[in-house]
Amino acid sequence: MITHRCLHPSLSKPSLSFLSSSSPPFLQDLSFLPTSPSITKPVFVHSVKPLHVKCSSTNLTSQSHPDHAPPISTLKIAIIGLGNYGQFLAKTLVSQGHIVLAHSRSDYSHVAKKLGVSFFLNPHDLCEQHPEVILLCTSIISTEQVLKTLPLQRLKRSTLFVDVLSVKEFARNLLLDALPLDFDIICSHPMFGPQSAKQSWKDLFFVYEKVRIGNESSRVQRCEQFLGIFQSEGCKMVEMSCQEHDKLAAGSQFMTHTVGRVLDMLGLESTPINTKGYETLLDLVENTCRDSFDLYYGLFLYNKSALEMVERLDLAFDALRNELFGRLHHVVRKQFFENGEKVKSVHGSSYQNGAASAFSSNALRSQDVTIPYEFKGKILESVDDSSKLKVAIVGFGNFGQFVAKTLARQGHSVLAYSRTDYRDAAQKLGVSFFSDANDLCEEHPEVILLCTSILSTEKVLKSLPFQRLKRSTLFVDVLSVKEFPRNLFLQLLPPEFDILCTHPMFGPESGKNGWNELPFVFDKVRIGNDERRVARCNSFLDIFAREGCRMVEMTCAEHDWHAAGSQFITHTMGRVLEKLQLESTPINTKGYETLLKLVENTAGDSFELYYGLFMYNVNAMEQLERMDFAFESLKKQLFGRLHGVLRKELFGDSEKLEVLQEKSVRKNGAALSSSPESVKIS
């Protein structure tokens, strides 16, 4: 577990005026750093402007579309740091007709030539070109060092310096300390990158603060011309103080990148039956995987609340894991001691503690079992009388009501039974509700649709009076795991009953705007050969096909291999983030929007569903351990680098360390020469 003084507000923090303003924020809280002369530079405190958000009002107008933006005059812009992000910006700058120069420690001359950029290996040569704007596209960690290497004396006075770092207070203080007073400063943050803005910059946030702009009209105009570059691309221009930016954005960015990197370590891959929630995870990995570790580490090092966020994420994950294992302990006790008797040996069963055996899963798995299901009809509001079914929904909770609404709208006769009295909800939906299972079964429904939780399915199934049903009744489940209900049906149902195992891979939240293109997976486990039973099965499947679902026929084993792992990871990450109580900000990045969407897609599902995915997924425990290992590995990377930073803060440069070591050797040598063992005995 991570512990740090800044995580405990009750502990007073010393005032460390001896640390330079460019030190990482949380390092300024470390009370054990010595007050040596090498780090006695006082903190240069600057006033912070009050928050002023400007999204399409005053100076920068017409931000809804580039066609309405004011014309941009040509600027001579020097990009310092022509890496991934520098090249990304250079491409647009050149396309707009600006003169673009570049300098980088690495030789990007060939890349620059392709982009139409003049490249300079020597910063002196670059500065002698007198660019109007110096655009710093360096990493957060290297910005201070790079800035100190620039020959500022070779630039024109009043040159405009702009940074694009993801943290702003650090950049603001650094530029104010390092630059002469006659240089102009804009601190900016294009809240997008090569991956999230590969199509366009339209409607993406560009945050900025005019930290220091001279009063001359030419300097004011130059500032507006530079901001117009992003405005003309359709960016949402937001003016706010650096302090407010860091409060709103830095934290959410750090959380986004942390989750993205953990998921990237898991090697997530797309499946033929992705849920919306899993798609958001894949999108998040895609949006963050190409960003350098230096960017992520900079967010950690220069974000005051980053360390606290790491601990909160750690605590949330531990809390969720304890909740799972706490329930598991209860189930194990119940298995062994229920009614004072130990249950029968599980060696002859396909399931142990309700989980599918590895042998069962591997024996049935095949790469060629996915069979496309074709439905040539269109999405219709109702069906022909000949296709109408009498469907009994057993389990009329959240999901049962969600499905019933569509069944009733299509004209099917819908009955419902549940242990909880949902009579009022059923009446509103046009559904006949039964509080007694015997009464329901005596209505002779053609289809029994089990919408129970995974955990209660076996108990509910055993309680149904099968003898009151017509022989050959079709039983259908909608559980999120498939091998478990398949084996349960085959074990408990009379052999004359038909069995269809299905999984609508959506729910009330992800399917609230329609089911079009959402995957519906099914396995015709046991369907009678006569024409009436085959037609009934197809009529049931057509309920979902008519709504536009992407119908996928595959074995239950193949479904669980594809879906259970990805679903469990999706729900685990969604529930961890839910415990953090993430909130939307006025300047959300695409990645952070992905996290919020993930929480939204999973928060409406019950814990019973999530626990069922854990309990009845043979890979769930392994997935949990993999996530834990990935998070621990990421923390080691962060704190491994942090150790080097602390050494630098403590010992300064290598010469100072060598002096300390030399003094230590001399002291030890003197002590050795004066020791009793060194005296000769005559």
Domains of the chain with bracketed CATH: 76-239 (3.40.50.720), 253-328+567-636 (no CATH), 390-564 (3.40.50.720)
Tally DSSP H helices, then E strands, for the chain. 24, 19
Q: What is the pLDDT of residues 394-404, one digit of tens each?
A: 999 999 999 99
Rounded CA separation 208/190 (Å): 8
Which of these, 365, 423, 391, lies nearest to 537 by C-alpha position? Answer: 391
Q: Which two tokens stand for residue 574?
A: 């969604």
Helix axes 565-579, 607-615, angle to 10 degrees: 140
For the cut 80, the answer to whether the pLDDT of residue 6 exceeds it is: no
Q: What is the pLDDT of residues 472-514, one digit of tens each?
A: 999 999 999 999 999 999 999 999 999 999 999 998 988 999 9
Residue range 103-112: mean pLDDT, rounded: 96
| Residue 517 neighbours by CB under 8 Å, 6+ apart | 548, 549, 550
Task: Count the alpha carbons within 13 Å of 137 in the hemisphere toward its beta carbon.
Answer: 23
Helix axes 306-337, 565-579, angle to 10 degrees: 120
- Written as one string, the DSSP assignment of 159-178 is PEEEE--S--HHHHHHHHHH
| Residues forming beta bridges with residue 502, ordered by sequence position | 522
Sheet strands (E) in 51-128: 76-80, 99-103, 118-120
DSSP-based three-state secondary structure for 665: helix
DSSP state of 543: H
Neighbours of 355 (CB within 10 A): 19
| Residues forming beta bridges with residue 500, ordered by sequence position | 476
Lowest mean pLDDT across 245-249, 354-358, 511-515: 354-358
CA angle 337, 340, 343 (to 5 degrees): 55
Which of 55-59, 289-293, 319-323, 442-446: highest mean pLDDT? 442-446
pLDDT of residue 203: 94
For the cut 60, the answer to whether the pLDDT of residue 364 exceeds it is: no
Residue range 198-206: mean pLDDT, rounded: 93
End-to-end CA distance of the chain: 60
Q: Where are the alpha helices (DSSP H) in 338-392?
A: 358-364
Residue 234 pLDDT level (bands cut at 50, 70, 90): very high
The amino acid sitting at 338 is E
Residue range 196-214: mean pLDDT, rounded: 94
DSSP state of 563: I
DSSP-based three-state secondary structure for 371: strand
Q: What is the CA radius of gyration of the chain?
A: 32
pLDDT of residue 652: 56
Rounded CA separation 24/33 (Å): 13
Q: For residues 450 and 457, is the Cβ–Cβ distance under 8 A?
A: yes
Residue 560 pLDDT level (bands cut at 50, 70, 90): confident
Q: For residues 450 and 394, is the Cβ–Cβ distance under 8 A?
A: yes
For the cut 80, the answer to whether the pLDDT of residue 441 exceeds it is: yes
pLDDT of residue 252: 86
The tokens 């091998």 sit on which residue?
Answer: 483
H/E stretch holding 351: strand 351-352
Residue range 413-423: mean pLDDT, rounded: 96
Q: For residues 501 and 489, is the Cβ–Cβ distance under 8 A?
A: yes
CA angle 405, 406, 411 (to 5 degrees): 100
